[in-house]
Amino acid sequence: MALMFMCLGTSDILRSLSAEKKTVHNGRIYQLKLFCDKDYPKKPRSVRFHSSITMTCVNHETGVVY
């Protein structure tokens, strides 16, 4: 996957992922946001998809990754 990112401050990062062709996601571009708590890296980042995506590890209503 191609990875591009833009910092939105010290704690949030917005990323765009470009899925590879010949996969179930076939070249689609997905946007997700990484949230870094003040305790990062001791506490892991949380991830939320802004783009609609169907994956078993993603809440289909909120986009939050489990």
Q: Does pLDDT of 4 surpass 60?
A: no
- Centroid of chain to Cα 21: 19
Residue appearing with tokens 């992922």: 17
What does pLDDT average to over the chain? Answer: 79
Cα diameter, the chain: 39
The string of pLDDT tens digits covering residues 23-41 is 887 878 889 888 877 777 7
pLDDT at position 63: 94
Q: Do 1 and 18 touch, CB atoms closer than 8 A?
A: yes
